[in-house]
Amino acid sequence: MKGKNKMDYKGKSEQMIEYIKKLRACIKWLLEREDANLAEIVKLNGLLEAAEKHHSQIVAQLKSAIEESKTINEELQKQYASLEENLKKVEAEKMDALRSYGDEKETRIALESSRNELLEDLSRLKLEGKRLNEQIKMLQDTNKRLQEYNTSLQQYNSNLQADVTKNGETITKLQKEKNTMVETMNGLKDHANSVKMQLDLAKSSQNEALKQKNELLKEVDNLRSELQQVREDRDHKLVEVHSLLAEIGTYKEMTGKSAVELDNVMTRSTALEEICSAQQERIKLLEVQLASTNEKLKRSDLTTIESMTEYEKQKRMSEDLQLRLEEAEQQIIDGEKLRKKLHNTILELKGNIRVFCRVRPLLSNESGAISYPKSGENLGHGIELTHNAQMYAFTFDKVFDQLASQEDVFIEISQLVQSALDGYKVCIFAYGQTGSGKTYTMMGKPEIHDQKGLIPRSLEQIFQTSQTLVSQGWKYNMQASMLEIYNETIRDLLANNRTSIQDGGVSKYSIKHDTNGNTHVSDLTIVDVSSFNEVSSLLKRAAQSRSVGRTQMNEESSRSHCVFTLRIFGVNEVYNIFLLLNLINA
């Protein structure tokens, strides 16, 4: 502080008052700034929490999506392998068809030569001409039919070839799409990891900024208390200056009073000046501290802005990932549709109606001579029976020998079960004389793993597959019914009322066909089932109903026919598709 002279305390204190006013304004500004910063921190905390919540949700979604994609990929790979196997089978069948075409050709040539011979005979044997002419006509008809058969075989062969080429192309396309999908999935996974790392970094820098902010707040508090102290000191000194001024005035009035007292006053005045300059130093120091605090506040603001920018960036990346995930899901759905189409095409190529023959092992009291072709086109398709030293050969789509297990038979029909879930109607029908093994093949012994028949195995597969399809948005409802036909009479095997099971003669059930080609039996008990265990207990109940009938019918139950029906209703709520109604009959 500078006065007009050393004794100009008034001037100095006025300057000090001015300076203190400025300091007050500065403190006020600092306080406002601090409030604004506090509000900003609260806002940022809110945003940070929301961002963290959003991030954890996205990470969880990504994880589950990646898991789903893995499962679907594995399934697609399995299906691809089975498609390849089927393709090989179709090619083998095509070769069989070509071979049989060659055989037919030879037969036709042989027939033509025999027709020529007959013509020669005709010229020689004029008396038998009329009869021979008729024979020739007959042979010509046969020849024509054979030619037609040849043409249809050729047509079938070219259709097969076209289908095989088409399937090959589709499978290659499917494989490519699958590879792209796998790559996209891996990319998404890496991207998700890097986004997570960046978010962690942003979070730690945010925490750092918050820490700095808290430290700065503490410093501001300290500065404020120091300023309060300075203000109090200054008030105190002002009081002292006023009293000194009063004393000086008194001294001026009392001129000539003792010089010693004057010296004392001068000393006190010098001390006061020293205190004032010390306070000035202190104020300068406070100003420097205030400047550095401001600087730190600015840096903290910058960090907050950087965190916000980073957060926005992460948010955009998350949205982008979400979009890509949706695209990947769509690709999976398209792949599933294509798989269904190919699966059905392969089954159609194999033949919509196929007949298999299963030979059961001989019982202890039985004897018989059954053999199988050891090589040639009928290998695995033929069976040879010997009766009265005469051999009879039969061919089927496939022959299961005595050693074939329940599993072997199920493998052959398991693809049809998949078709039932894909929305196609399927019927599996066992036919044969009494004791030939129909019940064993269809039902077996469900409680023994190796001896489970086609019905329990099919049901297990249906429930397992429908469970895996839930993740793709499918919901299934299943209804089971079971009836027995004995002597043209229908009996409901799931009816609770015994009399309705055993009413025998008076049948109240009638068979109806609707416009969609579905067959219904009126008043038949239909039970909703949601698990394999539920169906299993129904099968047991039905078996008991059957055995009651068998006792009453005096062991003639072998003449009865049993039909098990499972209706599958499937709806896809995610993609708004309603599809299936299927039957499996036995």
Applying CB under 6 A, the residues found at the interface with ligand ATP are 360-361, 432, 434-440, 558
Least distance CB 326 / ligand ATP (angstroms): 51
What DSSP string describes 169-202? HHHHHHHHHHHHHHHHHHHHHHHHHHHHHHHHHH
In contact, 474 and 466? CB cutoff 8 Å: yes
In contact, 434 and 447? CB cutoff 8 Å: no
Instruction: Give 471's DSSP letter.
Output: G
In contact, 524 and 434? CB cutoff 8 Å: no
- Dihedral (C-alpha) 158, 159, 161, 163: value to the nearest 10 degrees? 160
Tokens coding 333:
């759905």
Least distance CB 444 / ligand ATP (angstroms): 8
Least distance CB 429 / ligand ATP (angstroms): 13
Least distance CB 567 / ligand ATP (angstroms): 25
Nearer to ligand ATP, 444 or 570 (CB): 444
Nearer to ligand ATP, 248 or 404 (CB): 404
Distance CA 459, CA 586 (A): 13
Distance CA 59, CA 56 (A): 5
Nearer to ligand ATP, 170 or 439 (CB): 439
Nearer to ligand ATP, 321 or 542 (CB): 542
Least distance CB 85 / ligand ATP (angstroms): 25
> What is each CA distance from 98 to 84, 102, 347, in whole angstroms?
21, 6, 20
Place of tokens 């008396």: 127
CB nearest ligand ATP: which residue?
558
Nearer to ligand ATP, 415 or 439 (CB): 439
Nearer to ligand ATP, 80 or 440 (CB): 440
Least distance CB 392 / ligand ATP (angstroms): 21
Instruction: Give 363's DSSP letter.
Output: P
Nearer to ligand ATP, 448 or 506 (CB): 448
Residue ranges of E strands in 252-381: 356-358, 370-371
Nearer to ligand ATP, 388 or 434 (CB): 434
Tokens coding 358:
């299963």
Nearer to ligand ATP, 339 or 438 (CB): 438
Nearer to ligand ATP, 345 or 560 (CB): 560
Distance CA 203, CA 96 (A): 69
> Cβ neighbours of residue 448 under 8 Å, at least 6 residues apart?
none
Nearer to ligand ATP, 52 or 412 (CB): 412
Least distance CB 413 / ligand ATP (angstroms): 15
- Dihedral (C-alpha) 345, 346, 348, 353: value to the nearest 10 degrees? -150
Least distance CB 456 / ligand ATP (angstroms): 14
Tokens coding 40:
């900003």
What DSSP string describes 83-133? HHHHHHHHHHHHHHHHHHHHHHHHHHHHHHHHHHHHHHHHHH-GGGHHHHH
Exposed / middle / buried, residue 352 (Cβ in 10 Å: 0-12, 13-18, 19+): exposed
Least distance CB 447 / ligand ATP (angstroms): 14
Least distance CB 496 / ligand ATP (angstroms): 25
Exposed / middle / buried, residue 55 (Cβ in 10 Å: 0-12, 13-18, 19+): buried
Least distance CB 546 / ligand ATP (angstroms): 10
Nearer to ligand ATP, 249 or 432 (CB): 432
Distance CA 289, CA 537 (A): 85
Check the annotation: does 105 bind a ligand: no
Q: Which residue type does 418 have? A: Q
Nearer to ligand ATP, 70 or 559 (CB): 559
Distance CA 114, CA 513 (A): 51
Least distance CB 337 / ligand ATP (angstroms): 38
Least distance CB 361 / ligand ATP (angstroms): 5
In contact, 331 and 181? CB cutoff 8 Å: yes
Q: How far does Cα 237 stand from its chain's mean position?
A: 81
> Cβ neighbours of residue 264 under 8 Å, at least 6 residues apart?
none
DSSP element (H, E) containing 564: strand 561-572
Check the annotation: does 351 bind a ligand: no
Q: How many residues does the chain have?
A: 586
Check the annotation: does 436 bind a ligand: yes
C-alpha closest to that of 568 among 455, 453, 470, 475:
475
Tokens coding 359:
């030979």
Check the annotation: does 438 bind a ligand: yes
Check the annotation: does 439 bind a ligand: yes
Binding residues: 432-439
Binding residues for ATP: 432-439
